[in-house]
Chains A and B, each alone.
Chain A
């Protein structure tokens, strides 16, 4: 079956760094997306990884290890507006997006 495992909830402090881990099992693999979803809103695209390694985009970085079925999203210099759910979304062999419940990140001052 297809499965995504992320922590349900994490808490971090404004200005700090947080790493959200994700492990996945899919039928084939064509890359992995990270999305941000604020409460009551639709998800917005953050990053895409298809090759192993780290992709950096401003305060956000995403890492992928295909052999381990593992990815993480690293958020630096946390701001209050970063409080949201973060969704790790792999793409299977049919290019279907596999959605989980994500990680709710709470930022405290």
Chain B
């Protein structure tokens, strides 16, 4: 069954507005969740690692003030794209591991963001 629930599946917003994406762990208390972005025909790019109760760790080149991550509980992490622009249009995917570091990453269904 599903391990991760991501919402919404798709969203269209106007340039300059903010969008929040939720990622829920359904059957596991996840201290760490991962946020990825994927542009068409490109590989997944890790944006940040979300840590429960502390600040997220952002990858180089990802603006932490633009992509706000909140991991307030062991089952919920949120990604807010602030002041969205058309170039932020992408497929955003969250994931988590249910065990050790070499455990597989299980993903949510992803969120297709289109900024007009």
Q: Which residues of A approach B to under 8 Å, CB–CB?
A: 30-31, 33, 40-45, 48, 50, 87, 91, 95-97, 99-102
B residues less than 8 Å from A43 (CB atoms)? 44, 93, 107
Cα separation A33 to B102 with both chains bound (whole Å): 9
Cα separation A99 to B105 with both chains bound (whole Å): 12
A95–B101 contact, CB under 8 A?
A: yes
Query: How far apart are B102's CB and chain A's nearest CB, in angstroms?
Result: 5
Cα separation A107 to B69 with both chains bound (whole Å): 39
B102–A101 contact, CB under 8 A?
A: no
B window 58-116: CB within 8 A of A: 91, 93, 95, 101-102, 104-110, 112
Query: How far apart are B20's CB and chain A's nearest CB, in angstroms?
Result: 18
Interface of chain A, helix or strand or loop or mixed?
loop
B43–A31 contact, CB under 8 A?
A: no
Cα separation A95 to B49 with both chains bound (whole Å): 13
Of A40, A44, A48, the contact of B107 (CB 8 Å cutoff): A44
Of B41, B45, B102, the contact of A48 (CB 8 Å cutoff): B102
Q: Which residues of B approach A to under 8 Å, CB–CB?
A: 6, 41-46, 91, 93, 95, 101-102, 104-110, 112
B residues less than 8 Å from A45 (CB atoms)? 104-106
Cα separation A102 to B95 with both chains bound (whole Å): 19
Query: How far apart are A5's CB and chain B's nearest CB, in angstroms?
Result: 13
Of B43, B45, B106, B110, the contact of A41 (CB 8 Å cutoff): B110
Cα separation A33 to B107 with both chains bound (whole Å): 14
A residues less than 8 Å from B106 (CB atoms)? 45
A31–B102 contact, CB under 8 A?
A: yes
Decide yes or no: A97 and B42 within 8 Å by CB, A41-B110, A42-B110 being known contacts: no
B43–A100 contact, CB under 8 A?
A: yes
Cα separation A30 to B110 with both chains bound (whole Å): 26
